[in-house]
Amino acid sequence: MFAALVTSLALMAAQAASPAGDTLNYVVGPDDVLTVTVFNEPALSGQFRVENDGEFSYPFLGRVRAGGHTVEQVAESIKVRLADGYLRHPQITVGVDQFRSQSVFVLGEVRTPGKYVLSGPVTLLDALAKAGATTDAAGAEILILHPKEPAKGSPTLPNQRDAEVVTVNMREIQDGKMSRNVRIRDGDTIWVPKAERFFVVGMIRNAGSYILERNMTVLQAISTAGGVSERGSSRRIRIVRIVDNKRKEFDAKPTDIVRPGDTIVVRQRIL
């Protein structure tokens, strides 16, 4: 369901993105090569490789911290330090001449799960597209796991406590909220869970199994299945639900929230 969506949105994001804006928000790391340009100061301009400790050597200032900071933050740091006794109102730009390689894991319901090496600013859609997009069984909500410690070449699992978890609903991106196309960090794991489903049977136009959306009501679930048929009654609806491995059945209101695995039964209307 989301496979074509991921591909098309990735193309839209690439066309709409501003390269300059992307670079300014890029988080610098070891082995990146930065281009620092100071207006009318060629001696202070040049290319600088970020070393393993996240710093690089710069004229007059000595060691400059870059690792873990955005390009924009690095430029501001140099500007402030140069203005402190070296230059009046320095005008500085910082760009990335060479991006380091970043390892990203994409797992779960994607066509080609695995570890991918990417360069430059990487977004969620970029990584999903690299993995061949999501499968038809994928759910709308995707987990992005930021490990608190270096990944050490292995993916981060959803149940690990030493990770920051960001949840992104692909529906929001589909609706044009491109701010949800979040940045992916080096060592992140993108986990695409299988969609939770529900069932609609009885006097319904299109009985079957459907993907459950967050906070979906009984009325919305029935609409997803095409609505009540001519012989059905919207007032005679029951839900069959498994609770603690026991089957329970009860009357349902249109506003009731559907749970994963629920079977909604639309009964025949009474003449």
* Same domain for 235 and 183: no
Total residue length of the chain: 271
**pLDDT class of 118 with cuts at 50, 70, 90:** confident
- For residue 92, pLDDT beyond 70: yes
* Same domain for 75 and 46: yes
**pLDDT class of 15 with cuts at 50, 70, 90:** very low
* Same domain for 38 and 76: yes
* Same domain for 125 and 185: yes
- For residue 22, pLDDT beyond 70: no
Residue 179: inside a domain, yes or no?
yes
* Same domain for 137 and 61: no
Please state, rounded to an integer, the average pLDDT across all residues of the chain. 88
Instruction: Work out the burial of residue 192: count CB atoms within 10 Å of its CB; fewer than 13 is exposed, 13-18 middle, 19 or more buried.
Output: buried
* Same domain for 186 and 115: yes
pLDDT at 68 (0 to 100): 87
Q: How far apart are CA 260 and CA 258, in angstroms?
A: 7
* Same domain for 213 and 262: yes
Which of 98, 129, 146 delimits the end of a domain?
98
> Could you give the percent of the chain with pLDDT greater than 90?
66
216-242 per-position pLDDT tens digit: 999 999 999 999 999 999 999 999 999
Residue 94: inside a domain, yes or no?
yes
Strand order in the sheet with 163-169: 114-119, 101-108, 189-192, 141-147, 163-169
Residue 88: inside a domain, yes or no?
yes
* Same domain for 177 and 105: yes
pLDDT at 17 (0 to 100): 47
Give the total number of structural domains in the chain. 3
Containing structural domain, residue 208 = 197-268
Q: What is the DSSP letter of 30?
A: T
* Same domain for 134 and 202: no
Residue 3: inside a domain, yes or no?
no
* Same domain for 205 and 181: no
Which of 172, 192, 212 delimits the end of a domain?
192
* Same domain for 215 and 157: no
* Same domain for 114 and 41: no
- For residue 18, pLDDT beyond 50: no
Residue 138: inside a domain, yes or no?
yes
Cβ–Cβ under 8 Å, residues 70 and 33: no
Residue 1: inside a domain, yes or no?
no
Q: Is the pTM of this model over 0.85?
A: no
**pLDDT class of 10 with cuts at 50, 70, 90:** low
Dihedral angle sign, alpha carbons of residues 46, 82, 64, 183: negative
Residue 13: inside a domain, yes or no?
no
For residue 142, the domain's CATH number is 3.10.560.10
137-182 per-position pLDDT tens digit: 898 899 999 988 766 678 888 777 778 899 999 989 988 898 899 9
Residue 7: inside a domain, yes or no?
no
For residue 93, the domain's CATH number is 3.30.1950.10
Which of 98, 125, 158 delimits the end of a domain?
98
**pLDDT class of 9 with cuts at 50, 70, 90:** low
